[in-house]
Chain A
Amino acid sequence: MNLESKDILGTEQLSREEIEGILDTAVSFKEVSTRQIKKVPTLRGRTIINLFFEASTRTRTSFEIAGKRLSADVINISASTSSTVKGESLLDTAYNLEAMNPDLLIVRHSISGVPHMIASHIKCPVINAGDGAHEHPTQALLDLLTIREHSKQLTGLKVAIVGDITHSRVARSNIYAMLKCGMEVTVVGPPTMIPVGMECLGVKVLHDLEEAVSQVDVVMMLRIQLERQNEGLFPSFREYSNRFCLTADKLKHGRKDILIMHPGPVNRGIEIALDVMEGPHSVILDQVNNGVALRMALMYLLLGGGSETDH
């Protein structure tokens, strides 16, 4: 299986075949992480740079573990956004890193489009580890992997994505990928958190969590950024939680085998109740587990290669 592009910038650019190929490959990589020696020599001697302009422990760690389990050298750079303010442009940073001959650049930035800009100026592959409110393709792919593990097939599944859709890259990447895989997506949140033109993407919009829960196979809760309260997107956390916190009570009308997901980190009690988070429907830790395998798969597909040769 081959990927069309040298980069993984978003699920919007991936075809359904590519998405399924990535998921299939990831399934095989899960086994590596169960071994005592959790390492294969596949990318030995390769250099992967984690270029994170925005703080993130779990995504960065997941990429780092993935790279190391493939025997690549992984270097973490936490670039502060302020260095760009000081005159070194983003592209300067990218050119400087490229001059050190990395084989893969993993970029996260708080502003939409930055990984695309970097990817278009440098030769080595780029994986978008989250850009602003745009895309977070590896998260969406690991979410699909998790759903597929539990529901066997994706086509026809109904998913509710709940929370601050406007500012969520996880929501966008999931919407693009899920629609391609034949799933039905409903976004749920207060109207202030649903961006203009949402329906044009092909999703349903609801403002009632209980109603949504009763209709779907999967509920994906999004993290509420604490600073959003100051922007007046909702009156208070109490008010938000009353309506949009996923509690056992709100789950009553859901299917018996409903899946509860969350990209983390979780604001417990604000968007999801503790007992739901730790309850039987929750696959939140499976998501984390699948994240490593999924990222290994992408690294393998972008950097691996080689034709079937002789014995």
Chain B
Amino acid sequence: MNAEEMNRAITRIAHEILEKNKGTGDLALVGIRTRGVVLANRLRDKIKDIEKTTIDLGILDITLYRDDLTTGKDKPVLRDTDIPFAIDGKKVVLCDDVLFTGRTIRAAIDALVDFGRPAQVQLAVLIDRGHRELPFRPDYVGKNIPTSKDMRVKVQMTEEDAEDQVIVVNSKGQN
């Protein structure tokens, strides 16, 4: 996926969100660190372009909710969670770059409900690569990319990386 394709996919997701939720009422975006936050920011900009309103946006660091914290050696760097609005009664769209096993989403939903009781939680991802280990289905998908389990999908976005692109790396590290 190149920059143009990525932009188109995000534009489409923005439209789908608005369509499904019938506008921006009670709508909020919550991005999962790190690139889920980038996706959420871009979606908010798109929605602002379309509807001329700025919707709430929160940032979620799910490190403390992970189920694999105590197994490995390296401790992930913990970063701020920042949800500057009450999520009670909101329609929250969780945003992440890649959907794979579903474990991140599980952690994110656990974290989210600690902040309040949203009316609905929806899920937007840029890439769905399959291989779910938990029963999650995304509401909005930029692109489905079939992969084998040992491959890695790298989403790069200019806010964090050199350019906008998605690349699939096989287990030997080649593109």
Interface residues of A (CB under 8 A from B): 1-2, 24-25, 27-29, 31-32, 35-37, 39-42, 46, 70, 297, 300-301, 303-311
A28 to B59, CA, bound (A): 13
Asked if B73 and A42 sit within 8 Å, CB to CB, the answer is no
Contact (Cβ within 8 A) B72 A307: yes
Contact with A along B136-150 (1 / 0, CB 8 A): 000000000000000
Distance between Cα atoms of A308 and B101 in the complex (Å) = 13
Please indicate which of the listed interface residues A25, A37, A46, A305 has the most CB atoms of chain B within 10 Å of its own CB: A305
Rounded to whole Å, the gap between the CB of B52 and the closest CB of chain A is: 32
Smallest CB gap from A307: residue in B: B72
* B175: Cβ under 8 A from any A Cβ: no
- Residue with the greatest number of chain A CB neighbours at <10 A, chosen from B66, B71, B102: B66
Indicate whether A305 sits within 8 Å of B69 (C-beta atoms), given known contacts A40-B64, A311-B98, A311-B100: yes
Partner of A25, one of B68, B78, B81, B105: B78
Known A2-B75, A306-B72, A310-B101: A41·B64 in contact at CB below 8 Å: yes
Pairwise interchain contact B110-A41, C-beta atoms closer than 8 A? yes
B70 contacts A304, CB within 8 Å?
yes
Residue pair B71, A305 in contact (C-beta under 8 Å) = yes
Q: Is B85 an interface residue (CB 8 A)?
A: no
Contact of A28 among B61, B73, B110, B111 (CB under 8 A): B61
Contact in complex: A31, B80 (CB < 8 Å): yes
Q: Which of B75, B79, B82, B96 has the most CB of A within 10 A?
A: B75
CB-CB nearest in chain B for A45: B70
Please tell me which one of the listed residues A29, A41, A310 contacts residue B100 in the complex, with CB atoms under 8 A apart: A310
Nearest B residue to A38 by beta-carbon distance?
Answer: B114
Chain B positions near chain A (C-beta within 8 angstroms): 61, 63-66, 68-82, 96-105, 110-111, 114-116
Across-interface contacts of B97 in A (CB, < 8 A): 311
Give the shortest distance, in Å, between B162 (CB) and chain A (any CB).
20
Instruction: Please state if B73 and A2 are interface contacts (CB–CB under 8 Å).
Output: yes
Name the residue among B64, B72, B116 with the largest chain A CB count within 10 angstroms: B64
Cα A85 to Cα B73 in complex, Å, equals 40
Residue of B nearest to A297 (CB): B78
Q: Is the CB of B69 within 8 A of A311?
A: no
- Nearest-neighbour CB distance to chain A for B142, whole angstroms, equals 14
The smallest beta-carbon distance between B71 and chain A, in angstroms, is 5
Q: Which of A42, A300, A311 is most buried by chain B, counting CB atoms within 10 A of its CB?
A: A311
**7 residue pairs, one from A and one from B, having the closest CB atoms:** A307-B72, A40-B64, A311-B100, A306-B69, A306-B68, A42-B64, A28-B78
Given the complex, which residues of B lie within 8 Å of A310, measured CB to CB?
98, 100-101, 103-104
In angstroms, Cα B71 to Cα A304, docked, is 8
Our pick among A1, A39, A42, A305 for the contact of B77 (Cβ within 8 Å) is A1
Q: Give Cα distance in the complex from A311 to B127, angstroms.
A: 11
27 contacts between A and B (CB under 8 A): A2-B74, A28-B61, A28-B78, A28-B80, A28-B81, A31-B80, A31-B82, A32-B64, A36-B115, A37-B115, A40-B111, A41-B64, A42-B65, A300-B64, A300-B75, A304-B69, A306-B71, A306-B74, A307-B68, A307-B72, A307-B76, A309-B66, A310-B98, A310-B104, A311-B96, A311-B99, A311-B104
Tell me whether A306 and B75 are in contact in the complex, defined as CB-CB below 8 angstroms, given that A32-B64, A39-B114, A42-B69 are known contacts. yes
Q: Which residue of A lies closest to B113 (CB)?
A: A37
Shortest CB–CB separation between residue B125 and chain A, in angstroms? 8
Contacts of B66 in A (CB 8 A): 42, 306, 309
